[in-house]
């Protein structure tokens, strides 16, 4: 755990003020043993000191492998979980301390779209009831008589036939169901939508439709997205900025070109080199970094740098000293796309061989 609060990431270069400021956010789940008397035998540090800003109208992509804590991060941001430490400031106010009416008002503005369009919709409710349910909790958004009309409007906005309002989820395909989930997320006119793997379960041709829909809605409603996914190509496509997450921490943050074309963290480099590219000729100049082993358990993370157990660059310092997420000193002041925050003691660019 970092003892000193880390400085906020670089100031806004993109238009829009921050709508969400996250500082040193942490979530620790206790591991207990025993049935009657529970003893704590350990702790899973699912999210361990994450800081970032999300600006108005911006998409921040979060990529990482399973178990890196990206879904826990999503649940913390929509206040489905209480953080163990840290702050989430929405419009300057720390929402982790709110309760009752104030919390409800904030929740209205931070909505979520889930990964699995098959299990995240109640099979016994009609589409109209699913999309209209948020209005039951927040009646101020749509008075009772007006709800059906609002739901029809929402169906239209996400590209579904408003006549489908009385159908059930099983009558829709995966892509259509994800549209229903998105319509539900939009119902309360939120400012921020947290998307947790929203297109991972979809077929390629349908995935493109949903990605385009999310982009169009963002423009139309000035939404801010936190877009969580494991597919690096989709994340680059949709994001203004990207954070690479590993074992509960951000390893590297920056714009698309900074992260994808000039990564300086070994994990990011390995991740990018492993992505299968739909072009049989792309491998001529591409050096693949095949990482050894699996991600360590977050219940027993390595000391120092979390990535050191799989890193080919690891030295003694990596085991003793936690690398901070900051612009590496060697790049400070440099006018280079490699000058972006990277949590590695030995951050450097690997110059990719020219592709093609």
Partner 1 sequence: MSRADRDAEQDAGQDAEQRAGQDAEGPPAVPRLLEVRDLRVEFRTRDGVTEAVSGVSYGVDAGRTLAVLGESGSGKSVTAQAVMGILDSPPARVTGGRILFRGRDLLRMGEDERRRVRGARMAMIFQDALSALNPVLSVGAQLAEMYEVHQGLSRRAARARAVELMDRVRIPAARERAGDYPHQFSGGMRQRIMIAMALALEPDLIIADEPTTALDVTVQAQVMDLLAELRREYAMGLILITHDLGVVADVADTIAVMYAGRIVETAPVRDLYRRPAHPYTRGLLDSVPRLDGGGRELYAIKGLPPGPADLPPGCPFAPRCPRAQDVCRAERPPLYEVACGDASVRRASACHFWKDELDARDPIAAP
Query: Are 338 and 258 contacting, i.e. CB atoms less than 8 angstroms apart?
Result: yes
Non-local (6+) Cβ contacts of 217 within 8 A are 157, 158, 182, 186, 223
Nearer to partner 1, 78 or 113 (CB): 113
For residue 107, the minimal CB distance to partner 1 (Å) is: 30
Query: Are 36 and 92 contacting, i.e. CB atoms less than 8 angstroms apart?
Result: no
Nearer to partner 1, 26 or 202 (CB): 202
Nearer to partner 1, 124 or 288 (CB): 288
Query: Are 211 and 33 contacting, i.e. CB atoms less than 8 angstroms apart?
Result: no
* Tokens matching residue 67: 């178990």
Nearer to partner 1, 84 or 176 (CB): 176
**Number of other CB atoms surrounding residue 335 within 10 Å:** 6
For residue 271, the minimal CB distance to partner 1 (Å) is: 6
* Tokens matching residue 35: 């049935």
For residue 70, the minimal CB distance to partner 1 (Å) is: 12
How many whole angstroms separate alpha carbon 278 and alpha carbon 209?
19
Phi, psi for 116 (deg, rounded to 5)? -95, 105
**Number of other CB atoms surrounding residue 102 within 10 Å:** 12
Nearer to partner 1, 31 or 137 (CB): 31
Nearer to partner 1, 63 or 113 (CB): 63
Nearer to partner 1, 21 or 252 (CB): 252
Complete edge-to-edge strand list for the sheet that includes strand 39-55: 39-55, 18-33, 85-90, 93-94
For residue 286, the minimal CB distance to partner 1 (Å) is: 10
Picking from 136, 145, 148, the residue whose alpha carbon sits closest to that of residue 104 is 136
For residue 73, the minimal CB distance to partner 1 (Å) is: 17
Q: Which helix (H) or strand (E) holds 133?
A: helix 127-137
For residue 284, the minimal CB distance to partner 1 (Å) is: 6
Which residues form the interface with partner 1 (CB under 8 A)?
65-66, 173-176, 203-209, 211-212, 215, 230, 232-234, 236-238, 256-257, 260-261, 270-272, 274-284, 288, 290-291, 293-295, 355
């Amino acid at each position: 755990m970092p003892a000193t609060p880390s400085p906020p990431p670089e100031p806004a270069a993109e238009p829009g003020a921050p709508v969400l400021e996250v500082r040193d956010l942490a979530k620790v789940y206790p591991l207990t043993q025993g049935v009657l008397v529970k003893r704590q035998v350990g702790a899973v540090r699912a999210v361990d000191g994450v800081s970032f800003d999300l600006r108005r109208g911006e998409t921040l992509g979060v990529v990482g492998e399973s178990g890196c804590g990206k879904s826990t991060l999503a649940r913390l941001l929509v206040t489905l979980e209480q953080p163990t430490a840290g702050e989430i400031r929405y419009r300057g106010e720390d929402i982790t301390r709110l309760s009752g009416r104030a919390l409800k008002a904030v929740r209205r503005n931070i909505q979520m779209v889930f990964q699995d369009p098959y299990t995240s919709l109640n099979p016994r409710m009609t589409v109209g009831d699913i999309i209209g349910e948020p209005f039951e909790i927040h009646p101020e958004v749509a008075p009772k008589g007006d709800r059906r009309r609002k739901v029809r409007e929402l169906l239209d906005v996400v590209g579904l036939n408003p006549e489908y309002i009385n159908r059930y989820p099983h009558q829709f395909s995966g892509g259509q169901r994800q549209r229903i989930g998105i319509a539900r997320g939009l119902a309360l006119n939120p400012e921020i939508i947290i998307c947790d793997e929203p297109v991972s379960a979809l077929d390629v041709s349908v995935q493109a439709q949903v990605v385009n829909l999310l982009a169009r809605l963002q423009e139309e409603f000035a939404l801010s997205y936190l877009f969580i996914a494991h597919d690096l190509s989709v994340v680059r496509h949709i994001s203004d900025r990207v954070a690479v997450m590993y074992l509960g921490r951000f390893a590297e943050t920056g714009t698309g070109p900074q992260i994808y074309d000039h990564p300086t963290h070994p994990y990011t480099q390995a991740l990018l080199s492993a992505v299968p590219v739909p072009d049989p000729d792309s491998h001529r100049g591409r050096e693949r970094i095949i990482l050894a082993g699996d991600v360590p358990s977050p219940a027993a993370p390595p000391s120092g740098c979390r990535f050191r157990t799989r890193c080919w660059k690891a030295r003694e310092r990596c085991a003793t000293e936690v690398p901070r997420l900051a612009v590496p000193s060697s790049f400070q002041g440099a006018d280079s796309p490699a000058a972006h925050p990277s949590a590695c003691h030995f951050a450097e660019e690997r110059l990719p061989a020219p592709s093609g």
